[in-house]
């Protein structure tokens, strides 16, 4: 797979990898795995996350299974361009929370020869495309969609069903607020 090639080339072109799926599907874990592999290959990397994501840590990117990696919280996509100079690999977690400018930022980084690895929810709690993710998927060289397991029937889940009454688009939460569901169970849950 091209995105697993961690050999360091000084005259290589950059590219964008997008990891998407529902909550609890392992997106952040996969992002951390790819960034760790780049570090083992002695590639200089930097990982960013939105400043609003403080669920597990104010600074580190942390997966639901408590794997973590050092990161830099930023309040806008444009700050990534400023802070990501002089690196080989840029990681971005919770990309759905960034402004639409993230698509241009990622393309500029890739055009400058960097490998850009982005993870985020592809759909919001209503099952609608979320934030800059559709634009990133359209311009990325590699898209990986991973699935959780539906907590109601055991099939593959790709919806993040919100169990609370809040209608806010951005509501940080865990298993108390969200559950991964397959299409059938998600449609049934919407009727409840």
CA distance 105 to 65: 29
In this structure, is residue 189 part of a structural domain?
A: no
Q: Where are the beta strands (DSSP E) in the chain?
A: 15-21, 45-50, 61-62, 68-69, 72-74, 89-92, 115-121, 142-146, 148-149, 156-157, 159-162, 178-181
Predicted local distance difference test score (pLDDT) of residue 168: 66
What's residue 78's pLDDT?
94
* Distance (Å, whole) CA 122 – CA 179: 15
Q: DSSP string of 53-104? A: --SS-SSSEE-TT--EE--EEESSHHHHHHHTTT-SEEEE-SGGGS-TTHHH
Q: What is the dihedral of CA 171, 103, 31, 147, to 10 degrees?
A: 60
In a domain, 83, yes or no: yes
State the total domains in the chain.
1
Alpha carbons 51 and 73: distance in angstroms, whole number: 5
Catalytic-role residue among 94, 174, 188, 192 = 94
Question: Could you tell me if residue 167 is inside a domain?
Answer: no
Closest CA to 147 of 135, 157, 137: 157
Q: Is residue 166 part of a domain?
A: no
Q: What whole-number distance in Å separates Cα of residue 170 and Cα of residue 90?
A: 24
Between CA 120 and CA 168 the distance in angstroms is 18
- The pLDDT value recorded for residue 69 is 66
In a domain, 95, yes or no: yes
Nearest-angstrom CA–CA distance, 130 and 123: 5
- Greatest C-alpha distance within the chain: 56
Q: What is the per-residue pLDDT for 136?
A: 98
Residue 175, in any domain of the structure: no
Domain interval for residue 107 = 2-146
CA pair distance 6, 187, nearest whole angstrom: 41
Q: What is the CATH number of the domain that holds 38?
A: 3.40.50.300
The bridge status of strand 159-162 relative to strand 89-92 is unpaired
pLDDT of residue 2: 47
- Whether 178 is covered by a domain: the verdict is no
Domain assignment present for 158: no
Q: pLDDT digit of tens for each residue in the chain (192 aa)?
A: 445 544 444 446 899 999 999 999 999 899 999 999 998 999 999 999 988 765 655 565 554 555 666 778 899 999 999 899 889 999 999 999 999 999 999 999 999 999 999 999 999 999 999 999 999 999 999 999 999 999 999 999 999 998 877 666 666 555 578 899 999 999 999 998
SS3 (DSSP) at 184: helix
- Is 94 a known active-site residue? yes
């Amino acid at each position: 797979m091209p995105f697993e090639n961690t050999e360091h080339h000084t005259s290589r072109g950059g590219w964008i990898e997008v990891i998407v799926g529902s909550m609890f599907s392992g997106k952040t874990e996969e992002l951390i795995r790819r960034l760790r592999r780049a570090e083992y290959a002695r590639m200089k990397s930097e990982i960013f996350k939105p400043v609003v994501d403080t669920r597990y840590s104010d600074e580190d990117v942390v997966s639901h299974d408590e794997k973590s990696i050092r990161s830099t919280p930023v309040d806008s996509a444009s700050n990534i361009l400023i802070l990501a100079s002089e690196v080989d690999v840029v990681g971005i977690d919770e990309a759905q929370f960034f402004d639409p400018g993230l698509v241009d930022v990622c393309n500029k980084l890739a055009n400058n020869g960097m490998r850009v690895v982005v993870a985020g929810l592809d759909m919001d709690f209503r099952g609608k495309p979320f934030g800059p993710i559709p634009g990133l998927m359209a311009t990325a060289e590699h898209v990986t969609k991973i699935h959780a397991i539906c907590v109601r029937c055991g099939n593959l889940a790709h919806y993040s069903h919100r169990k609370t009454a809040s209608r806010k688009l951005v509501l940080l939460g865990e298993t108390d607020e969200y559950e991964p569901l397959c299409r059938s169970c998600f449609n049934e849950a919407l009727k409840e």
